[in-house]
């Protein structure tokens, strides 16, 4: 049997050798999910929600253990890992209530007939997820997929197989056999899952993988939701509250070691305030210490892998060769961990690779610009991505106008982007295809069907 290595990125040590799901086991898992689907759908949404809702208590009861696993497998500081596990104990209930509303039947009438609109499940959903929020990302797919009456074959990222297995256990307890199947492996297994007898792929991951999945799904016209990467801008206008803008730039470039889909990846600052702003950013970046995920008070853990570390280093080397300057580089602990220090990069120009390719690392990348409104919008849109964006200006009307002009799923004006409960999480342009969350997002795991009947004549 083939195995893959599960490595602790804070120490470089082997946590476990994980058996890969074989092609035969994969086909058997998909077949079990297929066989279980009609009865699961027939249970009805309220019964399904009740069974799935039990996961909240289990997540809460096991949050400490889950947080240990998250920190160990992908290096998230322990406090943030616990926040993720606990947060989903609450969020699961909110999502399940929304899912129940999303599939409520609707009645429509004409002069002669009554039509009921129902939302059928699609069948078997492949859930393929990344490692950066190893509880949150899977739950965003698993809950709506299952709640709407599909069965699921879940492949967590090969970086977090033990977290994946544990959440599958916590969610799967008490569900009928075959409703939630777990498979373990790398991209090749993910590709085989996409090719297998599934009806839909719910995917969160990189744009490059999203493109491959879309191509592979085309032959079977399989339904897709793809939540992909980003290259989010933050525009600092000349009249902005520089303190708040710098706080936002640093926090959201460095949080989770920059390994967040909606990290601030490009900061454009108006020429007239650029000197002051850069200094503020450097001072704030100094507060971000980097260390073992289990060390008390550490704000930034390691990168998830040696490969991710090399990618960030290579991008920085190329940026420097093209004229960018490292204005600040923090410290990293000694040892075999995959640590990358927080970096503040200045003199970044529009044509550099680091301005266009997702970095996914702890870099605050600063580019100066004229400070004109139209130019700010143009620079924000100078990317194929469209996940999030942020604008800081004292002129709120101008900020809102700029937000209208920016192609993104989420825009923050004088605050970091973020929606409100019940809103979908959207990757516009090449940051996604379809979207997750909110009633509209949950409905993507279903197909609408109208059932018409003649109106009975009343005497």
Which of 62, 206, 279, 414 is the binder for ligand NAD (CB under 6 A)? 206
Of 261, 265, 290, 373, catalytic: 261
Residue 187 binds ligand NAD, judged by CB under 6 A: yes
Among 77, 161, 178, 205, binds ligand NAD (CB under 6 A): 205
Segment 7 to 46, residues that bind ligand NAD, using CB under 6 A: none
The Cα-based distances of 20 to 155, 172, 182, 184, 242 in angstroms read 11, 20, 11, 5, 50
- Give the Cβ contact number of residue 48 at 10 Å: 23
For residue 54 the two structure tokens come to: 């039990």
Residue 163's closest CA among 91, 75, 92, 290?
A: 75
Of 13, 108, 42, the residue nearest 449 (C-alpha): 108
**DSSP H or E segment with residue 316:** helix 306-321
Minimum Å gap between C-beta 258 and ligand NAD is 10
Looking at 11, 150, 157, 393, which residue binds ligand NAD (CB under 6 A)? 157
Among 9, 75, 121, 130, binds ligand NAD (CB under 6 A): 130
Nearer residue to ligand NAD within complex by CB, 49 or 182: 182
CB 357: neighbour CB atoms within 10 A?
A: 16
Instruction: Quote the CA–CA distance of 247 and 105 in Å, as a whole number.
Output: 46
Least separation in angstroms between residue 205's CB and ligand NAD is 3
d(CA 348, CA 193): 41
Whose Cβ is closer to ligand NAD: residue 178's or residue 258's? 258
Contact, 182 vs 165, CB < 8 A? Answer: yes
Beta bridge partners of 115: 108, 452
Site pattern 409..448 for ligand NAD (x: CB under 6 A): ----------------x-x---xx----------------
Pick left, alpha or beta for residue 256 (phi over 0 → left; psi -120 to 50 → alpha; otherwise beta): left
Rounded to whole angstroms, the Cα distance separating 458 from 237 reads 67
Among 127, 194, 248, 364, binds ligand NAD (CB under 6 A): 194
Nearer CB in complex with ligand NAD: 69/280: 69
Between vectors from CA 294 to CA 289 and to CA 298, what angle results, nearest 5°?
A: 15
Selected from 51, 204, 332, 348, the binder of ligand NAD by CB under 6 A is 204
Instruction: Give the residue at shortest CB distance from ligand NAD.
Output: 190
Other CB atoms within 10 Å distance of the CB of residue 1: 7
Q: Which is nearer to ligand NAD, 147 or 229 (CB)?
A: 229
Do residues 139 and 164 make contact, with C-beta atoms less than 8 angstroms apart?
Answer: no
Q: Which of 19, 22, 118, 186 binds ligand NAD (CB under 6 A)?
A: 186
Nearer residue to ligand NAD within complex by CB, 155 or 284: 155
Q: Which of residues 254-273 bind ligand NAD (CB under 6 A)?
A: 261
Exactly one of 49, 358, 368, 393 binds ligand NAD (CB under 6 A); that residue is 358
158 binds ligand NAD (CB under 6 A): yes
Q: How far is the CB of 202 from ligand NAD (least distance, A)?
A: 11
Determine the angle formed by the axes of helices 45-53 and 136-147, rounding to 10 degrees: 150
Shortest reach from residue 176's CB to ligand NAD, in Å: 26
Interface positions, 43-102, toward ligand NAD (CB under 6 A): none
261 is catalytic: yes
**H-assigned helices in 406-455:** 438-442
Q: Rule CB under 6 A: is residue 191 a binding residue for ligand NAD?
A: yes
Count of residues that interact with ligand NAD, criterion CB under 6 A: 32
Least distance from C-beta 319 to ligand NAD, angstroms?
Answer: 19
Q: Give the other-Cβ count within 10 Å of 64's Cβ.
A: 13
Instruction: List the interface residues with ligand NAD, window 212-241 (CB under 6 A).
Output: 212-213, 227-230
According to CB under 6 A, which one of 8, 37, 56, 129 is a site residue for ligand NAD?
Answer: 129
Sequence-distant (≥ 6) Cβ neighbours of residue 103 within 8 angstroms:
45, 118, 119, 147, 148, 149, 442, 443, 446
CB atoms within 10 A of CB 244: 14
The catalytic position among 227, 265, 278, 358 is: 227
Q: Which residues pair with 266 in a beta bridge?
A: 233
Dihedral (Cα; 56, 59, 60, 63), 10-degree rounding: -160
Catalytic residue numbers, as ranges: 227, 261
Binding site for ligand NAD (CB under 6 A): 128-132, 137, 155, 157-158, 186-187, 190-191, 194, 204-206, 209, 212-213, 227-230, 261, 358, 360, 387, 425, 427, 431-432
């Amino acid at each position: 049997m083939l195995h893959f290595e599960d490595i602790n990125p804070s120490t470089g040590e082997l946590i476990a050798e994980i058996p890969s799901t074989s092609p035969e086991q994969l086909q058997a898992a998909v077949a079990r999910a297929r066989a279980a689907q009609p009865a699961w759908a027939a249970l009805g949404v309220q019964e399904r929600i009740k069974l799935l809702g039990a996961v909240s208590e289990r997540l809460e009861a096991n949050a400490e253990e889950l947080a240990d696993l998250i920190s160990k497998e992908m290096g998230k500081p322990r406090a943030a890992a616990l926040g993720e596990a606990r947060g989903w104990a609450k969020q699961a209930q909110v999502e399940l209530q929304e899912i129940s509303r999303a599939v409520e039947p609707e009645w429509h009438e004409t002069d002669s007939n009554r039509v009921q609109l129902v939302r059928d499940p699609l069948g078997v959903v492949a859930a393929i997820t990344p490692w950066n929020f190893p509880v949150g990302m899977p739950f965003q797919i698993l809950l709506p997929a299952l709640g709407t009456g599909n069965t699921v074959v879940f492949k967590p990222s090969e970086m977090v197989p033990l977290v994946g297995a544990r959440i599958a256990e916590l969610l799967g307890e008490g569900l009928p056999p075959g409703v939630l199947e777990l498979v373990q492996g790398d991209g090749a297994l993910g590709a085989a899952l996409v090719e297998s007898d599934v009806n839909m792929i719910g995917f969160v991951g990189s744009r490059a993988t999203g493109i491959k999945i879309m191509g592979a799904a085309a032959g079977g016209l399989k339904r897709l939701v793809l939540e992909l990467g980003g290259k989010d801008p933050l525009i600092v206008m000349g009249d902005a509250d520089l303190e708040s803008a710098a706080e936002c730039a640093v926090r959201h470039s460095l949080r989770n070691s920059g390994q967040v889909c909606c990290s601030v990846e490009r900061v454009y600052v108006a020429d007239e305030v650029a000197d002051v702003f850069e200094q503020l950013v450097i001072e704030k970046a100094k507060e971000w210490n980097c260390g073992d995920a289990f060390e008390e008070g550490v704000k930034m853990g390691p990168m998830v892998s040696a490969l991710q570390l090399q990618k960030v280093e290579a991008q920085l080397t190329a940026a420097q060769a093209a004229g960018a300057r490292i204005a600040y580089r923090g410290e990293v602990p000694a040892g075999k961990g995959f640590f990358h220090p927080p970096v503040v990069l200045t003199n970044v120009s529009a044509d550099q690779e680091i301005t266009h390719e997702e970095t996914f690392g702890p870099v605050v990348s600063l580019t100066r610009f004229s400070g004109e409104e139209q130019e700010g919008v143009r620079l924000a849109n100078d990317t194929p991505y469209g996940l999030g964006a942020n604008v800081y200006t004292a002129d709120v009307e101008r900020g809102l106008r700029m937000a209208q002009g920016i192609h993104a799923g989420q825009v923050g004006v004088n605050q970091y982007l973020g929606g409100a409960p019940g809103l979908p999480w959207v990757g516009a342009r090449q940051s996604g295809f379809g979207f997750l969350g909110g009633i509209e997002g949950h409905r993507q795991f279903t197909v609408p069907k109208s059932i018409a009947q003649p109106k009975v004549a009343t005497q």
